[in-house]
Structure 1
Amino acid sequence: MNNRTGFVNIFIVAITAVVVVFIGGYFLVAPDETEKRQNKEPPQDMRVEKSQNNIVEKTDEKPDEKEAVIAKQTIVEEKKTIVAVEKKTTHEEKKETVIEKKTTHENTKPKEIIVQEQARPEPPPQIQPVQQIKSIPTPGYTELIAVANGVVASLSRDDVLQIVDVTDPLSPIKIQTIDTPAFAEAAFQKDGYVYIADSRELRILDSAEQTVGVYNLRNFWPSAISVDSGYVYLVAGNEILILDAKSPQNIKQVSKTYLTGRAPSHIVVKDSYAYIVETLGGLNIVDVRNPSSPKVVKVFPFESHTAGFGIEGNYAYVGRVASTKSTAQGYSQTSVFEVIDISNPVAATVISSVELPTDIRGLDLLGTHAYVIGSYPYRLTPIDISSPANPKIIQAGESIVGSADLQDIVVENGFAFLADGSTGLRIVDISNIASPRHVKDFDLGGRAFNIYKWGSKLYIAVEQKYFNLANVRDPGNPQHTYSEPFTASYKYTSLVLDAKNAYFNGGGVRVYDIANIQSPQKIKMAPAEIDSIQIQGNYLYSTIGEIGLLVYDIADLTSLVQISRTPFPMGIPRDLSVDGRWAVGISNSPYSITVFDISDPQKPIVRDSYTYQKYPGSVTVKNDHAYVARGEDGVDIFNIRPDGSLELIKNIAIERGFAHHVAMYGNKAFVVRDGADVYDMTNPAKPIFMQHISNKGEANRIAIDNNYMYIADGYAGVTIIKMPE
Structure 2
Amino acid sequence: MGIKKDMNPLTIIYRPGLSLLFLWQVVFGQDSLNVRWINSGLFSCSRRTYCAEIGSNKYEFTYLHGGILVLNVNNPASPQKVVEIGTPGDPPRWLIDGGTEIVDTLLYLTIHPYGLWIYNIADISNPIRIGECKTPHSCGVTVAGNYAYVADDDSGLIIIDISQPSSPQRVGKFYTYPGGCDVIVSDTIAYLAAGKVWVINIKDPYNPSLISVWAPHGNSETALQIDKEGDFLYVTEKGIFIQGFWIIDVSNPQNPISADSVIVSWASDIVASGQYAYGSTDNRMLVINITNPYDAYVEAILSIPRSGQGIFYYNDYVYLANSRSTLIIDVNDPKNPFIVGSYNHGAYTIDVAISNNYAYVSKGSELKVLDISNLNKLNLIGHCATPDVARGLAVLGNYVYIADSDSGLRIIDISNPYAPQQIGSYIAQNYFMVDVIVDCSFAYIAVGSHGLLILDVSDPRNPIFVNSYTPPGGYSNSIKVYKNGLFVYLLCDPGGLKIIDVSNPYAPYQIGTFYPEGGINGGIGIRGNFAFLAGVESVNGSFCSLDIDDPSSPMPLDFLLDYWVNHGDLKLLGNRHAIVGTPNGPIFVADVQDPFNLRWAGYYQWEHSGSAGPSYQIDLKDNYIFVATDCGLQIFEFTGEAGIKLTSSNHNTHKINLTIQPNPFTLTTKISWHIQNNIEEGIVEIYNSAGQSVRNYPLNSIKKNDSFVIWDGTDSENRTLPGGVYFFVFNLNNFKIAKKIVYLK
Q: TM-score when scaled to structure 1?
A: 0.42
Q: TM-score when scaled to structure 2?
A: 0.41
